[in-house]
């Protein structure tokens, strides 16, 4: 079953009109289809050789090699290249290179797809189309770069706002803590003042009872005349008015 499946895949591979080459990471040719073998029949076998040596008769990689660029950037590449046929005629080919990734997203090689271009106009049209695509890509890159900067600026502003908010919150918490301390101190002072007032009132009332009232009672019993008794009564009445609020306060 696997053998039959392999035969079908090979047949499909060879039936592709485009020239297909599979290269490893060092530009060694691993596999080609019948179209490539037809184009380079004069250089067979090509399997196991460097692509630039087998296809172009060079000892070093081509100056603008799309396969090398794809291997370097891990990206799809499209180029229109000029070629010199065996008979010396100049031709044009459209080259598309697709990176191949193995396990763990490791780049293992590339697939090179080549299409012959017959007419000069087709070359110019393709070059114009590629130029448009490159311009669009360039514009898109600029837009993405601008968007990236705007996002970075927005993120920076957001971080500053969060930092400022945290600072403000910390300051408010510190102020609240200070106010709480001041309020506690005021409560203590008020309580001390109330206690001092209570103690003073108690002292005044006690002194009046112990130091003044007994002497007034003695004077009343000492045989005073009417005027003296009237004065004593006035003093006693005034004293009662003074201490009466204190008596009412302590009787609650």
Model pLDDT, residue 68: 93
- State the pLDDT at residue 36: 92
DSSP-based three-state secondary structure for 231: helix
* The CATH homologous superfamily of the domain defined by 2-118: PAS domain (3.30.450.20)
pLDDT in tens, 44-98: 999 999 999 998 888 999 888 999 999 999 999 988 887 776 666 677 888 999 9
Quickly state the pLDDT bin for 194 (edges 50, 70, 90).
confident
Q: How many CA atoms lie within 13 A of 69 on its CB side?
A: 13
pLDDT in tens, 227-239: 777 777 787 777 7
Q: Please give the residue that has the higher pLDDT: either 4 or 60.
A: 60
Residue 115 sits at φ, ψ, to 5 deg, of -120, 130
Give me the mean pLDDT over the 125-142 stretch.
76
Q: How far is 48 from 50, CA to CA, in rounded Å?
A: 7
Segment 25-39 shows an average pLDDT of 93
- Spatial distance between the Cα atoms of 245 and 242, rounded to a whole number of angstroms: 7
Nearest by Cα to 211 from 243, 170, 164, 172: 243
149 neighbors 157 (Cβ within 8 angstroms): no
**137 compared with 245, residue with greater pLDDT:** 137
Distant-in-sequence, close-in-space partners of 100: CB < 8 Å, separation ≥ 6? 22, 107, 108, 109, 110, 111
Among candidate residues 127, 123, 97, the one with its CA nearest the CA of residue 110: 97
Confidence class of residue 186 from pLDDT cuts 50, 70 and 90?
A: confident
- Average pLDDT of the chain? 81
Average of pLDDT values for 168-188? 85
Counting DSSP H helices and E strands in the chain, the numbers are 7, 5
Residue 181 has pLDDT above 80, yes or no: yes
Map out the domains of the chain as residue ranges.
2-118, 157-250
Q: Report residue 231 as tokens.
A: 């004065």
């Amino acid at each position: 079953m696997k053998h039959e499946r392999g035969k079908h895949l090979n047949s499909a591979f060879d039936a592709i009109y485009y020239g297909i080459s599979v290269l490893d990471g060092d530009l060694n040719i691993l596999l080609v289809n019948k179209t490539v073998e037809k184009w380079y029949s004069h250089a067979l076998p090509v399997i196991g050789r460097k692509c630039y040596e087998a296809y172009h008769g060079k000892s070093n990689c081509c100056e603008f090699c799309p396969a090398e660029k794809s291997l370097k950037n891990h990206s799809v590449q499209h180029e229109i290249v000029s070629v010199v046929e065996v008979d010396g005629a100049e031709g044009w080919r459209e080259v598309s290179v697709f990176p191949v990734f193995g396990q763990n997203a490791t780049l293992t090689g590339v697939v090179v797809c080549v299409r012959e271009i017959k007419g000069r106009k087709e070359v110019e049209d393709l070059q114009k189309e590629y130029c448009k695509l490159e311009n669009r890509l360039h514009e898109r890159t600029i837009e993405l770069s601008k968007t990236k900067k705007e996002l970075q600026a927005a993120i920076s502003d957001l971080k500053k706002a969060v930092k400022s908010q945290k600072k403000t919150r910390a300051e408010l918490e510190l102020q609240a803590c200070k106010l709480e301390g001041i309020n506690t101190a005021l409560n203590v002072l008020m309580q001390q003042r109330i206690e001092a007032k209570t103690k003073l009132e108690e002292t005044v009332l006690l002194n009046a009872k112990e130091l003044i009232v007994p002497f007034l009672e003695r004077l009343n019993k000492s045989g005073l005349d009417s005027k003296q008794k009237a004065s004593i009564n006035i003093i006693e009445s005034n004293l009662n008015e003074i201490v009466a609020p204190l008596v009412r306060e302590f009787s609650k």
